[in-house]
Amino acid sequence: MPIELPVAFHPVVLYLFWKHGISVLDLPLWELYEYTTSDVFVTNIVSVEPFVADFTIALEDEILSLRMDDTATVTLNSCNQD
């Protein structure tokens, strides 16, 4: 499973997409992958052991910053949503 998937289903990410007319829950998986492999999702592996990754999700002028730890827990670092 791509590490971006748990991030894509974080409530704040779901809300960001919904505000832009995109229902992540209704997207076919291949369409969701188009977002996670484009410049909408930027993934940065911070550490391999223990695993930590940072994610930046940008839609139009709104940007979210999230972090995933070695338990696959996703937390919001910052956002500039309206």
Which pLDDT tens digit goes with each residue over 37-56? 999 999 999 999 999 999 99
pLDDT band at 82 (very low <50, low <70, confident <90, very high): low
pLDDT of residue 65: 96
Both tokens assigned to 67: 């972090």
Round to whole Å and give the CA distance between 53 and 37.
15
The answer on pLDDT for 58 being more than 90 is: yes
pTM attached to this predicted model: 0.89
The Cα-based distances of 75 to 8, 29, 30, 65 in angstroms read 12, 23, 25, 9
pLDDT of residue 81: 61
pLDDT band at 79 (very low <50, low <70, confident <90, very high): confident
